[in-house]
Amino acid sequence: MTFVLKTAKTLRNHWKKSTFAAVALLYGFEYAKERFETQELMRVYCEKAARFGLEPIRVEADPRNVTVILNPNANKRKAGDEFEKYCAPLLHLAGICVNVVRTESEGHARTLINDLNGTDAVVVAGGDGTVSESTVCQII
């Protein structure tokens, strides 16, 4: 009983420190929970991609080719790392041939899209500017 009374008295006397500690603890808990949920979601996606990648491809079928237009300056220069961490493993597990092309300047995505041939899909990894540049172009 004395422990409870002593703790209550300490919390009353040091309420600012206690409030700060509670907020810091709550933030840490939320961060850990979000990280765990992200890793769990990635595990599920990787399992689905691996099942898709294990399916046999018909002999007469062409391999699946995807071109990724990556803007390394997007998302505070974290787009390249996030693509390698979250997207690339899924594409490789699915058995897709991935060609990553990094943009070098403004307007470079538009020229890359116009010069594409021999690809089944285009993935744009970047910010709003990269996506809007890519959607203006026409793929024939």
Q: What is the pLDDT of residues 21-69, one digit of tens each?
A: 889 989 999 999 999 998 898 888 888 877 877 777 676 667 678 888 8
Q: 3-state DSSP call for residue 52?
A: helix
pLDDT grade, residue 140 (50/70/90)? very low
Task: For residues 50 and 48, give the distance between their C-alpha atoms in angstroms, rounded to a whole number.
Answer: 5
Instruction: Give residue-wise pLDDT tens across range 92-133.
Output: 777 788 888 888 878 777 777 777 777 778 888 777 777 766
Within 8 A by CB and 6+ apart from 1, the residues are none
- Can you state the angle between helices 2-13 and 15-54, rounded to 10 degrees? 100
State the sign of the Cα–Cα–Cα–Cα dihedral 74, 78, 81, 85. negative
Q: What is the pTM of this model?
A: 0.60
Residue 84, number of CB atoms within 10 A of its CB:
13
